[in-house]
Structure 1
């Protein structure tokens, strides 16, 4: 079966997916340094902010190159690649691209493709971990000195993120700043999506196992 020829923007995306994933990890580490060391020597915060700006610039350049190579109108490109547009605006959401990153790693290492259930579990686990860490950093950044805030430490932020992603929501902590609530909205939506994906995949896997067991069981005479 013949495959459609690879377009310029698709070839660019295939080549840059892994480097940009590593850049996103560097972005997250630098952002963590700038947030968690705000009471330490200003040099640490400044270095972290410089690295954040440089990696963010890489994401913007990548987006503009893909827009140029696609040959489509800018508004149409934004509509088709709305997730990429959102990630350029808020790089902390880059874990949402873990499906493509995971497939790129599998292809680069020439490993056999995992089954559907394993891929869903891997994607959900990696996404939840990276999204949770990024969300905790963002909420802590905006909430730590806000009047009336209930999230005062990074540990508080991590605990709140665990409550949010698992949809438990004890109500003991909640963001009070506009940016904190925006982050919370994304985490709630992401948590519901990941939980639904894992639950649905696990249920399908169990049904598959039981169905196969029934088919293999000898019928009575």
Structure 2
């Protein structure tokens, strides 16, 4: 009985060690792969669009500080002629919750031309935002804007999907829950590593092509 118990315990321990090791390797690989493409706004190359990834919007319609920082950096890239368009990708899966129109309103308040704002209403997560940027908006070269803790994964996904993607961090403030965000991100890297390399699912929605070289208002409905 003791021998069986020891075998079970040993098997569990080996499994735990293998799991932790795989977790660490995947996180290392994602960050190492993406690092050469992460840069400052000043050093970022010219690209078609800044892909600004969505985040929390309050019930009032006001964007959260994390999302405001992302938008500010995207708008900075736009005003400095690093990108010609803004691709605002977020969750608008319900009428009661709308990230992308809040993002559009913020961009318009900062004097971004309405025709240069493209809206992805079905960017429900980082993988789907990148997939739709490629297949719906036919993006070839983009600058992804999000906080540093999230950026490596976003660039990794986009490049694995065949987009010439670069990343600019939007850490303009200290974020109270950053330790939680970083822990969740380490798990999300493993999830999306499997998705983009092995499972390769289609996003929840695709739809007709919307040319980034055209008028962004086509994507506003």
The answer to whether TM tops 0.5 is no
Larger Rg: 1
The alignment's TM-score, normalised by the length of structure 2, stands at 0.23
Higher strand proportion = 2
Tell me: higher relative CO, structure 1 or 2? Use CA pairs within 8 A at least 6 residues apart: 2
Higher helix proportion = 1
The alignment's TM-score, normalised by the length of structure 1, stands at 0.23
